[in-house]
Structure 1
């Protein structure tokens, strides 16, 4: 028996800000929780291949580098997607890249790092 990833939970300072960013970034649907949290669902029927994202208010500001981050892949041109995400509120982050990487490191409006891959991972 094995487990599968069903959800990625992110502690955030401003749930509304992060819901606006991540729902637009991922194209996910929003389900507001009674406790001020929000769950973001892939559009249409949930799938084991597309986990949900749960944004829960932590009341604290992020400090330091993430120990876990999302790697995202664009449906089309990765650099066009990077520009779109920056337009939504993301920003470039320098984590010591050499410039030859096949991904772009960004941070969401609260500073949580994530990457936009040039291509989907392969074996």
Structure 2
């Protein structure tokens, strides 16, 4: 039976990516299927796989159609959780597609892969 696995990010520097994503999201590297081109990262609480990292030679997409949303509950948390990945090597992206009163901030990991830090307190309601 087909089932959804976990997100995989293409990276140009696998050791650097492991260091960044384990610190940014409090994940642990597993030895499962580890190779020169692949690493799996698990939730540190033992609840299973969280993220895959795969060596890639393809260029980073400027406007990726698929990306990670990292969630926080308040504006204060958003500010802190933007600062932390930046201290780990990420950078804030000069994003020209922000809507007015955006609930997200676009960052890029050390490889240039885009992800968002979303403040759920500002997110539009479903009604």
- Structure 2's unaligned 5+ residue stretches are none
- TM-score, normalization by structure 2: 0.79
Report the TM-score, using the length of structure 1 for normalisation.
0.81
The match for 1:53 among 51, 56, 69 is 51
Counterparts of residues 38-117 of structure 1 (less than 5 Å): 38-47=39-48, 51-74=49-72, 77-93=77-93, 94-98=95-99, 100-117=101-118
SS at match of 2:30: strand
* Count of equivalent residues: 119
1:107–1:62 CA distance, 2 compared to 1 (3 A): same
Q: CA deviation at 1:100?
A: 1.5
Aligned-residue offset at 1:44:
2.2
- In 2, the alpha carbon distance for the partners of 1:2 and 1:38 equals 22
Q: Distance in 2 between matches of 1:86 and 1:64?
A: 19
Gaps (5+ residues) in structure 1?
Answer: none
Deviations 1:24-68 (A, max 9, x none): 111000124034311110012225xxx521101123332432120
Closer, same or farther: CA 88–75 of 1 in aligned 2, 3 Å: farther
Query: 2:39 touches 2:54 (CA, 8 Å); kept in 1?
Result: yes
1:34 aligns with: 35
RMSD, aligned CA:
2.5
